[in-house]
Amino acid sequence: MIATLAACQGKPPSSDSITGGDPRRGLDAIQRYGCGACHRIDGVPGAYGKVGPTLQNIGERAYVAGKLPDLGVGEIDARDIAAFLYHQ
Ligand code: HEC
């Protein structure tokens, strides 16, 4: 909704308005959920996991295959994490 409004005003939507999340809280959530145990994520200390695919450049991808492992990530946390990843 917010992203649509921004687009209508000729302003490129920011990653924050697309995801509705906060990248700073996203970093915190990523560390709390331990995503780095399985994923390599730039900007996240200790995130060198090799179990899952790297989450670098995820913002450049039009489509994210599969779905998040079922770690019980709440919607707010998921939005924040997405905001953080799209900021990369
Ligand atoms: C126990 C290991 C493990 C943990 C912990 C984990 N992941 Fe993953 N993740 C994987 C594996 C394996 C895949 C690839 C299989 C799939 O796509 O379902 C994957 C796939 C993904 C993908 C899709 C990547 C792509 O290129 O399509 C994203 C995004 C992702 N994980 C994000 C996260 C986030 C965010 C967290 C923390 C909330 C997290 N993962 C925690 C193992 C993990």
pLDDT tens-digit map of 65-88 = 445 566 778 888 888 988 898 887
Q: Is residue 8 part of a domain?
A: no
Cα of 78 to ligand 1 centre, how many Å?
A: 12
In a domain, residue 75? The reply is: yes
Structural domain boundaries, residue 53? 21-86
Nearest residue (by CA) to ligand 1, atom 35, is 35
Ligand 1, atom nearest to 66 Cα: 17
32-56 confidence digits (pLDDT tens): 999 999 999 988 999 999 888 888 7
The encoded tokens of residue 26 equal 């996203």
Give the per-residue pLDDT at 32.
92
Residue 47 belongs to some domain of the structure: yes
Task: Note whether residue 14 is domain-resident.
Answer: no
- Taking alpha carbons only, the member of 73, 39, 68, 34 closest to residue 56 is 39
The CA distance from 40 to 17, in Å, is: 25
Number of separate domains in the chain: 1
> Would you list the DSSP string of 4-32?
HHHHHTTPPPPHHHHH---HHHHHHHHHH
Taking CA atoms only, the protein residue closest to ligand 1 atom 27 is 65
C-alpha 85 to ligand 1 mean position (Å): 12
In this prediction the pTM is 0.76
